[in-house]
Chain A
Amino acid sequence: MKVIWDKEKVKSILPQREPFLFVDEVIELEEGKRIVARKYLDPELDFFKGHFPGNPVMPGVLTIEAMAQAGILVYVTARPKIVEQNPTYYFGSVNAKFRSPAHPGETLILEAEIFKVANFGGVVDTKARVGDRMVAEARSIFAIKVDPDSNRDFAK
Protein backbone atom coordinates (compact mmCIF):
# COMPACT_ATOMS: atom_id res chain seq x y z
CA MET A 1 0.00 0.00 0.00
CA LYS A 2 1.38 3.40 -0.97
CA VAL A 3 2.70 5.56 1.86
CA ILE A 4 1.45 9.13 1.55
CA TRP A 5 3.04 10.54 4.67
CA ASP A 6 6.09 8.66 5.92
CA LYS A 7 7.38 8.69 9.49
CA GLU A 8 9.48 11.80 8.97
CA LYS A 9 6.46 13.70 7.68
CA VAL A 10 4.38 12.42 10.60
CA LYS A 11 7.09 13.59 13.01
CA SER A 12 7.10 17.02 11.40
CA ILE A 13 3.49 17.37 12.51
CA LEU A 14 3.11 15.41 15.73
CA PRO A 15 4.96 16.64 18.82
CA GLN A 16 5.12 13.15 20.32
CA ARG A 17 8.27 11.09 20.08
CA GLU A 18 9.30 7.50 20.84
CA PRO A 19 8.32 5.74 22.96
CA PHE A 20 5.05 7.69 22.73
CA LEU A 21 4.65 8.02 18.97
CA PHE A 22 1.75 5.80 17.90
CA VAL A 23 1.51 6.53 14.18
CA ASP A 24 4.08 5.13 11.72
CA GLU A 25 2.68 6.51 8.47
CA VAL A 26 -0.41 7.73 6.64
CA ILE A 27 -1.66 5.53 3.78
CA GLU A 28 -4.82 7.33 2.70
CA LEU A 29 -5.62 11.03 2.79
CA GLU A 30 -8.62 13.16 1.85
CA GLU A 31 -7.71 16.72 2.73
CA GLY A 32 -9.92 18.27 5.31
CA LYS A 33 -11.93 15.07 5.72
CA ARG A 34 -10.25 11.81 6.50
CA ILE A 35 -6.99 9.94 6.83
CA VAL A 36 -6.01 6.33 7.31
CA ALA A 37 -2.82 5.76 9.26
CA ARG A 38 -1.12 2.73 10.67
CA LYS A 39 1.00 1.68 13.61
CA TYR A 40 2.91 -1.59 13.78
CA LEU A 41 2.69 -3.02 17.29
CA ASP A 42 6.27 -4.15 17.78
CA PRO A 43 6.37 -7.08 20.24
CA GLU A 44 9.40 -5.41 21.88
CA LEU A 45 7.38 -2.38 23.01
CA ASP A 46 7.87 -2.00 26.75
CA PHE A 47 4.24 -1.81 27.78
CA PHE A 48 3.57 -5.32 26.47
CA LYS A 49 5.83 -6.71 29.19
CA GLY A 50 3.50 -5.53 31.90
CA HIS A 51 0.17 -5.56 30.10
CA PHE A 52 -0.02 -8.42 30.69
CA PRO A 53 2.78 -10.89 31.50
CA GLY A 54 2.13 -13.96 29.38
CA ASN A 55 -0.84 -12.33 27.65
CA PRO A 56 0.28 -9.10 25.99
CA VAL A 57 -2.41 -6.78 24.67
CA MET A 58 -2.34 -3.14 23.61
CA PRO A 59 -3.63 -1.06 26.54
CA GLY A 60 -6.90 0.75 25.84
CA VAL A 61 -5.48 4.08 26.92
CA LEU A 62 -2.70 3.76 24.36
CA THR A 63 -5.19 2.83 21.66
CA ILE A 64 -6.93 6.08 22.53
CA GLU A 65 -3.60 7.89 22.28
CA ALA A 66 -3.00 6.37 18.84
CA MET A 67 -6.45 7.50 17.74
CA ALA A 68 -5.80 10.98 19.13
CA GLN A 69 -2.56 11.25 17.20
CA ALA A 70 -4.35 10.22 14.03
CA GLY A 71 -6.88 12.90 14.92
CA ILE A 72 -4.18 15.55 15.02
CA LEU A 73 -2.94 14.44 11.62
CA VAL A 74 -6.37 14.69 9.99
CA TYR A 75 -6.91 18.04 11.71
CA VAL A 76 -3.74 19.34 10.10
CA THR A 77 -5.04 18.45 6.64
CA ALA A 78 -7.84 20.97 7.32
CA ARG A 79 -5.59 23.55 8.98
CA PRO A 80 -2.13 23.01 7.44
CA LYS A 81 -0.73 26.35 8.58
CA ILE A 82 -1.23 25.47 12.23
CA VAL A 83 1.98 23.43 12.23
CA GLU A 84 4.03 26.57 11.63
CA GLN A 85 2.72 28.02 14.89
CA ASN A 86 4.20 25.34 17.17
CA PRO A 87 0.83 24.23 18.50
CA THR A 88 0.18 22.28 21.64
CA TYR A 89 -2.70 19.86 21.52
CA TYR A 90 -4.78 19.22 24.63
CA PHE A 91 -7.39 16.55 25.05
CA GLY A 92 -10.77 18.00 25.98
CA SER A 93 -12.73 14.79 26.17
CA VAL A 94 -12.94 11.38 24.61
CA ASN A 95 -15.86 9.01 24.27
CA ALA A 96 -14.48 5.58 23.45
CA LYS A 97 -15.74 2.05 22.99
CA PHE A 98 -13.46 -0.97 22.95
CA ARG A 99 -14.47 -3.88 20.77
CA SER A 100 -11.55 -6.29 20.72
CA PRO A 101 -7.91 -6.37 21.84
CA ALA A 102 -4.90 -5.63 19.66
CA HIS A 103 -1.85 -7.85 20.07
CA PRO A 104 1.92 -7.63 19.53
CA GLY A 105 2.90 -8.18 15.92
CA GLU A 106 -0.38 -6.79 14.60
CA THR A 107 -0.73 -3.52 12.71
CA LEU A 108 -3.24 -1.06 14.03
CA ILE A 109 -5.12 0.74 11.25
CA LEU A 110 -6.40 4.14 12.37
CA GLU A 111 -9.14 5.77 10.34
CA ALA A 112 -9.72 9.35 11.48
CA GLU A 113 -12.53 11.47 10.12
CA ILE A 114 -13.18 15.12 10.87
CA PHE A 115 -16.52 15.86 12.50
CA LYS A 116 -15.86 19.58 12.92
CA VAL A 117 -12.75 21.74 13.25
CA ALA A 118 -11.99 25.31 14.22
CA ASN A 119 -8.74 27.17 14.68
CA PHE A 120 -8.93 26.60 18.43
CA GLY A 121 -9.86 22.92 18.45
CA GLY A 122 -11.49 20.01 16.76
CA VAL A 123 -13.78 17.01 17.00
CA VAL A 124 -12.57 13.87 15.25
CA ASP A 125 -14.14 10.42 14.99
CA THR A 126 -11.63 7.59 14.80
CA LYS A 127 -11.81 3.85 14.34
CA ALA A 128 -8.94 1.55 15.18
CA ARG A 129 -8.89 -1.89 13.65
CA VAL A 130 -6.63 -4.82 12.91
CA GLY A 131 -7.46 -6.01 9.42
CA ASP A 132 -11.26 -6.12 9.34
CA ARG A 133 -11.54 -6.60 13.08
CA MET A 134 -12.68 -3.48 14.97
CA VAL A 135 -10.53 -2.73 18.00
CA ALA A 136 -11.95 0.58 19.20
CA GLU A 137 -13.96 3.63 18.21
CA ALA A 138 -13.73 7.08 19.73
CA ARG A 139 -14.88 10.64 19.38
CA SER A 140 -12.05 12.91 20.52
CA ILE A 141 -12.38 16.58 21.24
CA PHE A 142 -9.19 18.57 21.59
CA ALA A 143 -8.03 22.14 22.02
CA ILE A 144 -5.18 23.76 20.19
CA LYS A 145 -3.03 26.44 21.68
CA VAL A 146 -0.33 28.18 19.73
CA ASP A 147 2.75 29.71 21.18
CA PRO A 148 4.60 31.79 18.62
CA ASP A 149 7.47 32.30 21.07
CA SER A 150 8.01 28.59 21.59
CA ASN A 151 11.47 27.35 20.65
CA ARG A 152 10.43 23.74 20.27
CA ASP A 153 11.41 22.15 17.00
CA PHE A 154 9.11 19.25 16.21
CA ALA A 155 11.21 18.25 13.22
CA LYS A 156 13.98 16.92 15.50
Chain B
Amino acid sequence: MVPQDLDKQIKEIIARVIELDAGEITPDADFINDLGVDSLKAIEITGAIEKAFRVVVPEEKIRDIRTLNQAVSLTKQLLEAKG
Protein backbone atom coordinates (compact mmCIF):
# COMPACT_ATOMS: atom_id res chain seq x y z
CA MET B 1 0.00 0.00 0.00
CA VAL B 2 1.33 3.43 -0.94
CA PRO B 3 1.08 5.99 1.91
CA GLN B 4 -0.70 9.22 0.98
CA ASP B 5 2.16 11.26 2.33
CA LEU B 6 4.86 9.23 0.59
CA ASP B 7 6.49 12.38 -0.80
CA LYS B 8 6.76 13.89 2.66
CA GLN B 9 8.11 10.71 4.23
CA ILE B 10 10.75 10.24 1.53
CA LYS B 11 11.75 13.90 1.74
CA GLU B 12 12.25 13.58 5.49
CA ILE B 13 14.31 10.41 5.05
CA ILE B 14 16.52 12.08 2.47
CA ALA B 15 16.87 15.23 4.55
CA ARG B 16 17.99 13.19 7.54
CA VAL B 17 20.50 11.20 5.52
CA ILE B 18 22.06 14.10 3.65
CA GLU B 19 21.77 16.41 6.68
CA LEU B 20 19.91 19.20 4.94
CA ASP B 21 16.73 20.98 5.87
CA ALA B 22 13.77 19.27 4.17
CA GLY B 23 12.80 22.64 2.73
CA GLU B 24 15.96 22.68 0.64
CA ILE B 25 15.05 19.45 -1.13
CA THR B 26 12.95 20.44 -4.11
CA PRO B 27 11.37 17.70 -6.24
CA ASP B 28 13.84 17.87 -9.11
CA ALA B 29 16.96 19.12 -7.35
CA ASP B 30 19.82 16.80 -8.24
CA PHE B 31 21.47 15.48 -5.09
CA ILE B 32 24.96 15.62 -6.50
CA ASN B 33 24.91 18.62 -8.82
CA ASP B 34 22.45 20.87 -6.95
CA LEU B 35 22.65 19.79 -3.31
CA GLY B 36 26.37 19.02 -3.14
CA VAL B 37 25.84 15.49 -1.91
CA ASP B 38 28.43 12.77 -2.30
CA SER B 39 27.37 10.12 -4.83
CA LEU B 40 27.86 7.39 -2.23
CA LYS B 41 25.02 8.89 -0.24
CA ALA B 42 22.69 7.27 -2.77
CA ILE B 43 23.54 3.96 -1.11
CA GLU B 44 22.64 5.31 2.30
CA ILE B 45 19.43 6.91 1.01
CA THR B 46 18.47 3.62 -0.61
CA GLY B 47 19.12 1.70 2.58
CA ALA B 48 17.05 4.13 4.62
CA ILE B 49 14.14 3.89 2.17
CA GLU B 50 14.34 0.10 2.15
CA LYS B 51 14.16 -0.06 5.92
CA ALA B 52 11.40 2.51 6.23
CA PHE B 53 9.12 0.89 3.65
CA ARG B 54 10.32 -2.73 3.75
CA VAL B 55 11.15 -2.81 0.07
CA VAL B 56 14.24 -3.93 -1.81
CA VAL B 57 15.71 -1.53 -4.34
CA PRO B 58 17.37 -3.38 -7.24
CA GLU B 59 21.05 -2.56 -7.22
CA GLU B 60 21.04 -1.26 -10.76
CA LYS B 61 18.53 1.41 -9.72
CA ILE B 62 20.59 2.85 -6.86
CA ARG B 63 22.57 5.28 -8.96
CA ASP B 64 19.35 6.41 -10.66
CA ILE B 65 18.10 7.92 -7.41
CA ARG B 66 19.32 11.46 -8.04
CA THR B 67 16.25 13.53 -7.10
CA LEU B 68 13.38 13.44 -4.66
CA ASN B 69 10.96 12.76 -7.50
CA GLN B 70 13.00 9.78 -8.66
CA ALA B 71 13.16 8.39 -5.13
CA VAL B 72 9.40 8.79 -4.68
CA SER B 73 8.60 7.30 -8.07
CA LEU B 74 10.78 4.24 -7.49
CA THR B 75 9.48 3.67 -3.98
CA LYS B 76 5.90 3.93 -5.22
CA GLN B 77 6.60 1.33 -7.91
CA LEU B 78 8.12 -1.04 -5.38
CA LEU B 79 5.25 -0.60 -2.93
CA GLU B 80 2.68 -1.17 -5.65
CA ALA B 81 4.50 -4.31 -6.74
CA LYS B 82 4.38 -5.56 -3.16
CA GLY B 83 0.61 -5.16 -3.13
Contacts and interface: CB of A to CB of B under 8 A. Distances in A.
B38 A117 contact: no
Interface string B14-58: 000000000000000000000000101101101100100000000
Of B40, B41, B50, B62, chain A has the most CB atoms within 10 Å of the CB of B40
B49 to A, nearest CB: 10
Nearest to A143: B40
A122 B38 contact: no
Interface residues of B, number: 11
A141 interface: yes
A47 interface: no
Interface of B: 38, 40-41, 43-44, 46-47, 50, 59, 62-63
Interface of A: 92-93, 115-123, 139, 141-143
A93 B40 contact: yes
B59 A92 contact: no
B44 to A, nearest CB: 5
B40 A116 contact: no
A79 B47 CA distance: 16
Contact of A123 (B43, B59, B63): B43
Contacts of B47: 115-116, 123
A116 B55 CA distance: 13
